[in-house]
Amino acid sequence: MPKSKETNVFETLYQVDVKPFLVKKGRYDYLPWATAIRLLMEHYPDAIWCNRSHEREIRLDTGIVKTAFPYFYDPVIGGLAVETEVNINGLVKWETLPVIDYKNNIVKNPDWMAINTAQKRCLVKNISLFGLGLKVYEGIHNCEEDYTYGESTSNNAPPVAPSKAEKEKEDIIETAKEVFGGAEITGHETVSGLLTKRFPKNAKNRITLLKSIIADKDQYRASQIVKVADLTEEECQTAIQSLNQ
């Protein structure tokens, strides 16, 4: 039985030895993105890739403008994430990666350099789905683990104990779950509740008030807010503090 196209691609790229090209950053070994692309193109010169874009509406004085950003906010991790897509001979795979530092911590308020770095790291991980460099993630080499909320540890290192603040936050969440029947109250839900209390029948006024709160710190950022879900966790806390005054 002939092998499928996907099997042929995977077997070809999986056999490529990337170990000589690995560089160490912090505790982990990484395959540089430029090397990953070169190795890929040596075997599949017609391969193409891209950064996935996410459409958003920005409310300006002149009206609503639709635009696209090569990242999106994920409230679960409390930070930004990027997505890439790779096409090899018609085989398409995509990957997602949070904007993290080289200790695998979520980067709060990342600049464009941090976003660009995350895109390149995501691209390398995306390419590995086709086999190239997958051994790094399998642990055959000292692999880059997926992101964590604290510093990652190797299999031989003891786990990092949560800080006092993290422990207190966990205790508060567990107490809230007991009080509210297992439902964790998010910052977005709290902001929505406070805004509704101020303007129970006027959604437009709720968003206007919210934007004015955010504008006190960043007017451009305020122009990007069209709904409560657009807020970062930090912005939620700012809004909650202001609305409770």
| Residues 123-129, mean pLDDT to the nearest whole number | 95
**The predicted structure's pLDDT at residue 2:** 60
Q: What is the mean pLDDT of residues 167-171?
A: 54
Q: How confident is the model at residue 152 (pLDDT cuts 50, 70, 90)?
A: very low
Best CA proximity match to 241, nearest among 223, 222, 216, 220? 216
- pLDDT of res. 1: 54
Q: What pLDDT score was predicted for residue 132?
A: 95
Q: Which of 141, 99, 137, 140 shows the shortest CA–CA distance to 120?
A: 99
Strands 54-60 and 63-69: antiparallel
Structural domains of the chain sorted by starting position, each given as residue range(s) with its CATH number in brackets: 5-138 (3.30.390), 164-243 (no CATH)
How would you write 184-215 as a 3-class SS string?
A: CCCHHHHHHHHHHHHCCCCHHHHHHHHHHHHH
| Claim: this prediction has a pTM higher than 0.85 | no
